[in-house]
Amino acid sequence: MNDKAPPGRRTFADAWDEIGYLRDKLLYWLYQRADAGSARRYGRRLERLLLPADPAHDAILGEECWSLIHEANGERRKAIQSRANEVHLIRRLHELSRGAAYEATALQDYGYADLSDRLDLLAVLYHDDGNLDKAITTLRESEELCREHGLKFDGDELLREYTDEKRASQQAAAG
């Protein structure tokens, strides 16, 4: 992971080019620097672009951005809703492009590994919102997806941590 912030830009080819740039800035400040205040600054700019660019919330990149904006704002349930819709849209893209001549191009940024990553992120949001069962179920779904497609499952440590947490909670309730 690169420790440097994405380079600044002032010109963009179109609104989606700027949306991608702002998403990268928001990701950097939210996850690499753990600075929600700086992330929110980019989130406000991003929100102003997303409203007219994707009013129906049917763009995968748009939903990823909304999830990040809501996460930076501490709006976990809205972040979950947007991340879940992003997962739905990626699955829909897989369905629509399966076997088509354009399948490889369509899935270039949204392949099975990307879908697994999004499921892992969704699981973390569920966990942080207090829904441990849904977090575990989502991670198991990601694990199965990886197994089906011969991919390395990156969420194994999280799954172990969450199942241990659930087991401890059950033992405490029983004892």
pTM, entire model: 0.94
Give the span between the Cα atoms of 59 and 90, in whole angstroms: 9
Q: What is the mean pLDDT of residues 125-151?
A: 98
Residue that is last in its domain, among 71, 88, 107:
107
Residue that is last in its domain, among 107, 124, 146:
107
The 8-class DSSP code of residue 29 comes to I
Q: Domain containing 158: what range?
A: 111-175
Q: Do 11 and 44 reside in the same domain of the chain?
A: yes
User: Can you give the pLDDT at residue 175?
Assistant: 76
Q: Do 125 and 96 reside in the same domain of the chain?
A: no
- Of residues 175 and 99, more confidently modeled: 99
SS3 131: coil
**Cβ atoms 110, 120 nearer than 8 A:** no
Residue 47 has pLDDT above 80, yes or no: yes
Q: Do 91 and 28 reside in the same domain of the chain?
A: yes
The pLDDT confidence band at residue 2, using thresholds 50, 70 and 90, is low
Please count the residues of the chain: 175
Q: Do 65 and 96 reside in the same domain of the chain?
A: yes
How many domains is the chain built from?
2
Residue 1 has pLDDT above 60, yes or no: no
Q: Which two tokens stand for residue 171?
A: 């033992």
Distance of CA 43 to the CA centre of its chain: 15
Q: Which two tokens stand for residue 82?
A: 């947007």
Residue that is last in its domain, among 107, 122, 152:
107
Q: What is the mean pLDDT of residues 13-22?
A: 97
Q: Do 94 and 161 reside in the same domain of the chain?
A: no
Give the span between the Cα atoms of 142 and 42, in whole angstroms: 30
User: Can you give the pLDDT at residue 72?
Assistant: 97
Largest Cα separation within the chain, whole Å, is 62
Q: Chain-wide mean pLDDT for the chain?
A: 96
Residue 59 has pLDDT above 80, yes or no: yes
Q: Do 99 and 124 reside in the same domain of the chain?
A: no
Amino acid (one-letter) located at 144: E
Q: Do 65 and 103 reside in the same domain of the chain?
A: yes
Residue 23 has pLDDT above 60, yes or no: yes
Q: What is the mean pLDDT of residues 64-78?
A: 98
